[in-house]
Amino acid sequence: MIYIIFPILALVHLGVLFLGSDIFLLRLISKIVPILYLIALSVGEGKWTTRAGIWLGIGLVFSLGGDTILAFPDKYFVFGLGSFLIAQVAYSVSFSWGNPVHFLRLIPYVIFGTSYFYWLLPGIAPALTIPVAVYVSAICVMGWRSAAREVSARDRLLGILGAISFIISDSIIALGQFTPNKLPFHGVWVMSTYYLAQFLIYLSQEEEE
């Protein structure tokens, strides 16, 4: 059912964004319902009974927190960033549990993260420089840990694609936040890649015990 219900829930919010609704509660509720569904599903499927599943659940809960906080004015941006930072750490731990290190697989993420951060740097307020650097590091580590898993080819591919989708989503947010190059339908791009990321990360752990 996840293959039907989650896309429908995600499309509802994307439709709200595309139509430009200014009803705050509609935007907020439609935004968080897809992640609430994944949390409920993780409990129903017993994912919280495994260590990797517990950390996946923690990542979902803090993602929900970040979604909620970022629905409010920009002055709360750093708190939303903090909530998503914890989510990224949780996903990294979930991906890492019982898996090898594979330092070489970190290299592409270091190259991307360093390059993107220095490109954004002129537009980042001094007070946010360290928080943004820490967050970029965390999401690149999450990407690396998804690539370092020794699991089935299906789960590894889904995890990598999910992590990359998360990196793309956060990169689009940073593009709009710290540069003048905001994409048309910015919110639709952010949330579509974000929902895809959460969906793929969740599916990547369906077969794990």
> Tell me: the pLDDT tens digits for 97-132?
999 999 999 999 999 999 999 999 999 999 999 999
pLDDT in tens, 23-59: 999 999 999 999 999 999 999 999 888 999 999 999 9
DSSP assignment letter at 185: T
- CA separation (Å) from 18 to 34, 139, 192? 17, 27, 11
Confidence at residue 146, expressed as pLDDT on a 0 to 100 scale: 98
% of the chain residues with pLDDT over 70:
99
Instruction: Kindly list the domain boundaries of the chain, sorted by start residue.
Output: 1-204
Residues 85-100 as b or e (16 or more Cβ within 10 Å = b): bbbbbbbbbbbbbebe
Displacement of CA 78 from its chain's centroid (Å): 16
Q: What sign for the dihedral angle of Cα 116, 117, 119, 125?
A: positive
Q: Are 151 and 206 in contact (CB under 8 A)?
A: no
As a whole number of angstroms, the distance between CA 140 and CA 167 comes to 8
Q: Are 143 and 109 in contact (CB under 8 A)?
A: yes
First to last CA, the chain: 20
